[in-house]
Amino acid sequence: MNIRKKVALCGIPGMKKEDIVKMEKYVREEYPEVDFLFLSEEVLEKEELIEKCQGVEVLISWDQEMDEETYEKLNLRAYCAASIGYNAANIEAATKNNVIVTNVPDYCLDEVATHTIMLMLACYRKLYSMVPYVKSGNWDLDVLGSIKRFEDSIVGLLGFGSIARAVAKKLRGFEVKIISYDPFVNKEEMEKLNVTKVQLNTLFKESDYLSLHTPLLDDTKEIINKDSLRKMKPTTYLINTARGGLINHEDLYQALTNNHIQGAGLDVLKNEPPKTIDKKLIALPNTIITGHSAYLSEEASDLQLKITAETVGRILNSTEPINVRNPQVLNRIDWIK
């Protein structure tokens, strides 16, 4: 019989109540003797988190911010991010305290790739102008101006991970030229999908549609800023289904209002829910904002929960988990069988 162990869930704003129930169910299927503590949908203050998570071995979250003091005062085995992103886990602090950080990298690959292309096509056909124009009772093409054929476009991918590759595969039938910048992927790997590897400046200068597919790291934070936006064509569309923090929102607002680029299709924002600058972007006539929904489908949501629960189960059963983001910790812990 398994020893009772504690798992806590918090900092998952927007998770449906039925999914919270499912998460507990799936974790119990992996480890029946678990004490499953649902603390809050919202992110907790540090003091409250430390107080409520005494004895907890696994924390499940996607937004709960961690620091060294928090890890030092808890006795966690793992921070399991129930999402692709795991910035809130503070991997440096977790690693220093021998806490494993995991995530769920590919559960919504098809959904995000499809959503990315949807935003490109919506920008291409200027739906941000046409839809409200028709709803206002108009039936002419005056609002559209000129539109260039998509088939002759250059699509730039900033980053060439699994989602960017899925985008490249789905774009094959559109006969567009695809270029990408990713310092960790060689040109031969890109060429397998008919993608040309280019330098970062070339990506900014040549892309008609620039789509962001890189994690949010110190060297990618606000990589889209005043300088990079000035390098883009005035007809460029910026697409972001990755992380809001990749873009300096003030600089993007200025670029969109001054016609330095043509428009933007964004699924993620710097602040969620939106704050002042985000609301200003939403209100612009040349943006399409889709409320961080790119990942969503019934199948993806269920897979997200199941993979997270499987990971938690392996940790509670003292088995090496999947999707470890700081594998150097594995050699320093003694609880893995």
Rounded CA-CA distance 279/284 in Å is 9
Count of beta carbons in the 10 Å neighbourhood of residue 30: 18
Percent of the chain with pLDDT over 70: 100
* Contact (Cβ atoms closer than 8 angstroms) between residue 181 and residue 161: no
113 and 97, same domain (yes or no): no
Q: Is the pLDDT of residue 1 over 80?
A: no
**What does the pLDDT read at residue 273?**
87
Residues 50 and 103 occupy one common structural domain: yes
Q: Which residues contact 239 (CB under 8 A, 6 or more apart)?
A: 116, 119, 120, 123, 209, 210, 211, 212, 264, 265, 266
* Two tokens, residue 110: 């098809």
Give yes or no: 260 in active site: no
Domain count, the chain: 2
Q: What is the pLDDT of residue 156?
A: 99
**Looking at residue 26, which CATH number applies to its domain?**
3.40.50.720
The reply to whether 191 and 69 lie within a common domain is: no
241 and 212 in a single domain? The answer is yes
Mean pLDDT of 275-304: 97
What are the residues facing 56 on neighbouring strands? 6
Q: Are residues 276 and 257 in the same domain?
A: yes
Within-domain flag for 136: yes
The reply to whether 101 and 144 lie within a common domain is no
Name the DSSP class of 247.
Answer: B
Mean pLDDT throughout 79-84?
Answer: 96
For residue 41, which phi and psi values (nearest 5 degrees)? -70, -30
Q: Is residue 83 in a domain?
A: yes
Return the percent helix, strand and coil in the chain, to nearest 5.
40, 15, 40
207 three-class SS: coil
Domain coverage including residue 249: 109-289
- The span from the CA of 137 to the CA of 226, in Å, is 37
Residue 337 lies in a domain: no
Under the banding of pLDDT at 50, 70 and 90, the label for residue 253 is very high
Query: What are the Cα distances from residue 143, in Å, to 71, 137, 138, 148, 167?
Result: 55, 13, 10, 15, 29
Looking at the structure, tell me whether residues 103 and 213 fall in a common domain. no
Do 55 and 131 lie in one domain? The reply is no
Mean of pLDDT values over 38-59: 97
Q: Which of 243, 249, 260, 314 is catalytic?
A: 243
Whether 122 is covered by a domain: the verdict is: yes
pLDDT number for residue 316:
97
Identify whether residues 168 and 36 lie together within a single domain: no
Q: Is the pLDDT of residue 330 over 90?
A: yes
> In this structure, are residues 236 and 210 in contact, taking their beta carbons and an 8 Å threshold?
yes
Q: In what order do the strands lie in the sheet with 209-212?
A: 195-197, 177-181, 154-158, 209-212, 237-240, 263-266, 287-289
b (16+ CB within 10 A) / e for 226-257 = eebbebbbeebbbbbbbbbbbbbbebbbebbe
- On whether both 155 and 23 belong to a single domain, the answer is no
- The answer as to whether 86 is a domain residue is yes
> What integer is the mean pLDDT of 33-48?
97
Q: Spot the catalytic one: 41, 65, 222, 292.
A: 292
Model pLDDT, residue 337: 84
Segment 21-42 shows an average pLDDT of 97
pLDDT (0 to 100) of residue 214? 96
Note if 292 is an active site residue: yes
To which residue do tokens 């985008």 refer? 167
The three-state secondary structure class of 216 is: coil
DSSP state of 107: T
Confidence of residue 96 (pLDDT cuts 50, 70, 90): very high
Whether the per-residue pLDDT at 7 is higher than 90: the answer is: yes
Quick one: average pLDDT of 195-202? 98
Residues 150 and 196 placed together within one structural domain of the fold = yes
Residue 130 within any structural domain of the chain: yes
Q: Predicted confidence band at 283 (pLDDT cuts at 50, 70, 90)?
A: very high
Task: Determine which of 1-5, 243-247, 313-317 has the lowest per-residue pLDDT on average.
Answer: 1-5
28, 189, 272, 325: which is the annotated catalytic residue? Answer: 272
Four-point Cα dihedral 8, 12, 17, 22, nearest 10 = -50
* 84 within some domain: yes
CA 22 to chain centre: 22
Residues 39 and 131 in one domain: no
User: What value does the mean pLDDT of the chain take?
Assistant: 96
Catalytic annotation present for 125: no
Greatest CA separation for the chain? 72
CA distances from 2 to 17, 102, 246 (A): 28, 23, 44
